[in-house]
Amino acid sequence: MKRLFTDHYKRNVIELSGAWRFLADPDATGESNNWQKGLPSGETVIVPSVWNNELGLLNYEGCCWYERKFTTAGGTLLFEFESVMTLATVWLDGNKIGEHYGAFTQFEFIVNDVSSGEHTIVVRADNRIDGQSFPQRYTDWFNYGGIARDAYAHELRGISILTNHITYELSNDLKCATVNAELELYNASRDTVSSKVSVKIGDTSIYNESITLNGYEKRTVITPATVIEDIALWDVDAPNLYTVIAATDTDDLIDKIGYRKIEVKGGEILLNSKPIELLGINRHEEHPEWGFAFPPKLMKKDLDLICDMGCNTIRGSHYPNSKIFVDMLDERGILFWSEIPMWGCGFSERSLQDPVIFERGYSMHKEMVKCYYNHPSIIIWGMHNEIATYSECTYPISKAWSEYLRENGGNRLITHASNHPLLDNDMDLDDIICINIYHGWYTYRGYDGKLSDWDKMIEEFRARRLEKGWEGKPVIMSEFGAAALSGFHSHFDTVRWSEEYQRDLLEYTLELFHKTDYIKGTYIWQFCNIRTSHAMDINRVRYFNNKGVLDEYRNPKSSYFKIKELYHRYSGK
C-alpha cells in the first residue's frame, strides 16, 4: 500500500504500478474471446491512471482490459488493489482469482501455491452504470474508469499479518491509554506453523506470545489490554504519532496511530475534552489531467493550500480518499470526514429499497473501516449524502449502517449530510447534524432565492432542533457556496458566476454561521472546480462544477483570500 512510511521490512512486496498493456472492449466480449489468457493486442498505459484522459476515451463507459507480467519467488501471494473503477475482475495466468465491486475502496485476493518465475496478471475494469450501480448515473462528478490507485503483489511467508487495528480507551485526564490490538493472522503455508507474534507501540511492547496455526488457517487475535502511561496526545496543534510494529518470525506490518478523543457534549464538539469549531472545506480527489488517479505530489500541494486558508478539517466528498492522503492529514493534524459514494439525488426511493444497493453500501462501509481504522485524523464517518431522508425508506438503511459504524468504527462521530433539514427523520441517529443548503445560489420552495433566506432558515432549524430534542447535537453546515468563473468580475454584487458574487456569498454565510450559537462548524463547497458528469447538464458550465474557491488547476479565485482572512480570524491563528 502506498504510505508516507515503510509499512513492511520483512515482507517482499512487488509493485504492480507502471506499464500495463491496455485494450478497450466496447462490446464486452473479451472474456468470451479468452482475453483473460492474454490480450490479442493493446497499447501501453501507465498505472495508476484513468482511461478517460487518454485521447479518444474521454466519454468511454464500458470494459477495459489490462495485462502485465511480473516475477515472483512463488508461494502465497496477496494481490492488493487500492482502487479499480468500478467492477474489477482479476485473473492470474488465465485463472480467475476474484471480483470486487466499488470504485473507492481497496480489496485483496490471496492465492496459494503460486510457482516461482514469471506470471501474467489480467484485470478487467468495468465502469458501466445500471440501475444497481453505486453511485447511480446522476452524480456531480465524472464517472472515470480504470486502475486508479496503486496495486501490489505481496509475497506472504509463514504466519503473516493481514491487518492490525489498535483500539484504546483514554483515562479521564487523557494521560493514560488502555490499549489492545486486533490482529488478523494468516498462515501462508500448507503446513502447521508456530511463530512468535509481537506488537509494539512506540517503545512499549503490548504483546509477545507464541501462536500455532494450521495450514492456510486465518485467525483473529485480540491482545489483552495494556495500560500505557504518559501518552502524548494527537491534536490539531500537536499531531503526535506513535509507530506500531506488529511482527511474526517471517512477516511484519508497520502503521501509525495517534491518541485522541472526539465526543459531543451539550451541543459542542470536543477534541481531547476541548471545544473545537470545525473550519472546513469539501474536497474531491480529482484533477482534469489525472482524474481520480491523483498523484501524491499534488495531494501535498492541495493540503498546503488548504492549510494556508486556515482550515482545520476536510470533508472527503464523496468517497474514501487515498490512504497516503490520510497519512498526510495524520501528520499535519488536519481532521477528516470520510464517507462512501452514496450521492443521494441519484438514488430513487425505489433503488433505496433494493437489497443489492443496501449490501453494496454496507460492504463499502466495512471496507472503509477496515482500511482506515487506525487514522487519528478521521473523526467523522459519513453514511451518505443527500438521500431521501424525508421519506421513511431511508431510516432502516441509516439505522443499520450507523449501528455498524458505532460498534466497529472506533472513536468517531457518525453523521449523514442532509439537504432537507426541516423534514429529515434520520438525524435522530446522528452524533452531529450536517446540513447541505445553497441559499443565494439555488432556489428552494418557500424561500425568495435571496441571501437573506439563510437567516430565515437558521431560525426555522432552531425551532426544529427544539421540537425534536436535538439540542445536544452540534450542527455543521456541511455544504454551501456558489459557482464562479475565474477571471469573470463585476461591479454589481448581484451578478452570478462572478468572483465577487461567490466571495460575498461565502463571507455572508461564514459570518452568519460563525455567530450562530448552535452551529459548530462549516465545510465550504468546494476546494476547487471539478469535472462533472454529463448527466448534470444544468448549471454545469464547461461540464465542470465551478463552485471551487480555486479553479481546477489550483489557481485561487477572490474567495480564497476572503476565506483565509475569516478562518484565521475565527481560529485566532
State which residue, 284 or 562, has the beta carbon closest to ligand ADA. Answer: 284
Cα-Cα-Cα-Cα dihedral sign, residues 409, 410, 416, 417: negative
Structural contact between residues 424 and 391, judged by C-beta atoms closer than 8 angstroms: no
Closest approach, Cβ 559 to ligand ADA, in A, equals: 14
Closest approach, Cβ 529 to ligand ADA, in A, equals: 10
C-alpha cell at 60: 468511454
Structural contact between residues 207 and 223, judged by C-beta atoms closer than 8 angstroms: yes
Interhelix angle 453-468/499-515, rounded to 10 degrees, is 30
Q: Does 545 bind ligand ADA (CB under 6 A)?
A: yes
**Binding residue (CB under 6 A) for ligand ADA from 126, 479, 500, 551:** 479
Structural contact between residues 527 and 282, judged by C-beta atoms closer than 8 angstroms: yes
Distances (CA, A) of 460 to 29, 316, 454, 481: 56, 29, 10, 20
State which residue, 180 or 486, has the beta carbon closest to ligand ADA. Answer: 486
**Binding residue (CB under 6 A) for ligand ADA from 287, 439, 465, 547:** 547
Q: What secondary structure letter does DSSP report for 376?
A: T
Site string for ligand ADA, 298-337 (x = CB under 6 A): --------------------x-------------------
Distances (CA, A) of 511 to 71, 258, 419, 506: 59, 33, 21, 8
Q: Does 339 bind ligand ADA (CB under 6 A)?
A: no
Site string for ligand ADA, 116-145 (x = CB under 6 A): ------------------------x-----
Closest approach, Cβ 324 to ligand ADA, in A, equals: 24
The strand pair at 18-25 and 63-72 is best described as antiparallel
Task: Count CB-CB contacts under 10 A for residue 532.
Answer: 22
State which residue, 519 or 524, has the beta carbon closest to ligand ADA. Answer: 524
State which residue, 256 or 547, has the beta carbon closest to ligand ADA. Answer: 547
Strand, coil or helix: 372: helix
Q: What secondary structure letter does DSSP report for 306?
A: H
Q: Does 386 bind ligand ADA (CB under 6 A)?
A: yes
Closest approach, Cβ 378 to ligand ADA, in A, equals: 20
Q: Does 385 bind ligand ADA (CB under 6 A)?
A: yes
Torsional class of 546: left (φ above 0), alpha (ψ -120 to 50), beta (otherwise): alpha
Closest approach, Cβ 497 to ligand ADA, in A, equals: 13
Closest approach, Cβ 483 to ligand ADA, in A, equals: 7
How far apart (Å, rounded) are the C-alpha atoms in residues 144 and 85?
7
Site string for ligand ADA, 420-459 (x = CB under 6 A): ----------------x-----------------------
Q: Does 480 bind ligand ADA (CB under 6 A)?
A: no
State which residue, 394 or 419, has the beta carbon closest to ligand ADA. Answer: 419
Closest approach, Cβ 527 to ligand ADA, in A, equals: 12
Residue nearest to ligand ADA (CB): 140
**Phi and psi torsions of 408, nearest 5°:** -120, -10
State which residue, 119 or 318, has the beta carbon closest to ligand ADA. Answer: 318
Q: Does 525 bind ligand ADA (CB under 6 A)?
A: yes
State which residue, 251 or 424, has the beta carbon closest to ligand ADA. Answer: 424
Strand, coil or helix: 486: coil
Distances (CA, A) of 262 to 412, 432, 516, 537: 6, 12, 22, 40
State which residue, 256 or 315, has the beta carbon closest to ligand ADA. Answer: 315
Q: What secondary structure letter does DSSP report for 52?
A: G
Closest approach, Cβ 258 to ligand ADA, in A, equals: 29
| Total residues in contact with ligand ADA, by rule CB under 6 A | 10
Closest approach, Cβ 345 to ligand ADA, in A, equals: 7
Q: Does 285 bind ligand ADA (CB under 6 A)?
A: no
Closest CA to 314 of 296, 298, 332: 332
Closest approach, Cβ 282 to ligand ADA, in A, equals: 8
Closest approach, Cβ 338 to ligand ADA, in A, equals: 15
State which residue, 199 or 519, has the beta carbon closest to ligand ADA. Answer: 519
Burial grade of 428 (CB within 10 A; 0-12, 13-18, 19 or more):
middle
Q: Give, as ranges, the residues between 30 and 89 that touch ligand ADA (CB under 6 A).
A: none
Closest CA to 272 of 226, 333, 222, 317: 333
Closest approach, Cβ 351 to ligand ADA, in A, equals: 17
Interhelix angle 355-372/323-332, rounded to 10 degrees, is 50
Residues that bind ligand ADA (CB under 6 A): 140, 318, 385-386, 419, 436, 479, 525, 545, 547
